[in-house]
Amino acid sequence: MKKVEAIIKPFRLEEVKDALAQIGITGMTVSEVKGYGRQKGHSELYRGAEYVVDFLPKIKVELVVDDEQLEQVLDTITEAARTGKIGDGKIFVSGIEKVIRIRTGETGSEAI
């Protein structure tokens, strides 16, 4: 099992969610996060003085998938989240030791 963490632009969330549902992904967790990469922040104006906003709002999508579904999920997210402009985000993949469904106590792939 792998955990996929995708940092995406907030307005792409609906597309990413729909595309993942299309390939049979049944759940995910999202959170509002802030961050920046190579695109850096932008400057804003307040009462006649400029200031730099370093951290831009992003959405973090987290989901755990079986190994055989991983590549398809990564392709789907990449395609759905891409705008072609700087700041589209990143996807991180890591290993998962154990998953437990709280309601039934099922573990492993059954619990995803």
Partner 1 sequence: MEDFGYIVDTLFALFAMTLIVFMVPGFAMLEAGLVRTKNVTSVLTVNTMIYAVASMMFLLVGYELAFGSWENSGMSIYAAFLFQMAFVGKTVNIMSGGVSERVRILPIALFTVLMGGLIYPLVVNVSWGADLLAGTMLDLQMYDLAGSTVIHSTGGWALLAAIMIMGPRKGRYKDGKIHVIPASNIPLVVLGALLLWIGWFGFNGGSVGSIASKENADTVALTIMNTNTAGLAGALIAGIFMYLRYRKFDITMILNGALGGLVAITAGPDLYDTHTPIFIGAIGGALVVFAVPLFDKLKLDDPVGALSVHLVNGIWGTLAVGIFAAEPEAGITLLGQLKGIAVVAVFVFTVSYAAIYIINKFLPFRAGDDEQVEGLDVTECGLEAYPEFKRAF
**Residues that bind partner 1 in the complex, under the rule CB under 8 A:** 44-51
Query: CB of 50: closest distance to partner 1 in angstroms?
Result: 7
- CA dist., res. 92 & res. 49, Å (int): 38
Give the count of alpha carbons within 13 A of 103, CB side only: 3
Q: Least separation, in Å, of the C-beta of 19 and partner 1? A: 27
Q: How far is the CB of 102 from partner 1 (least distance, A)?
A: 18
Closer CB to partner 1, residue 52 or residue 86? 52
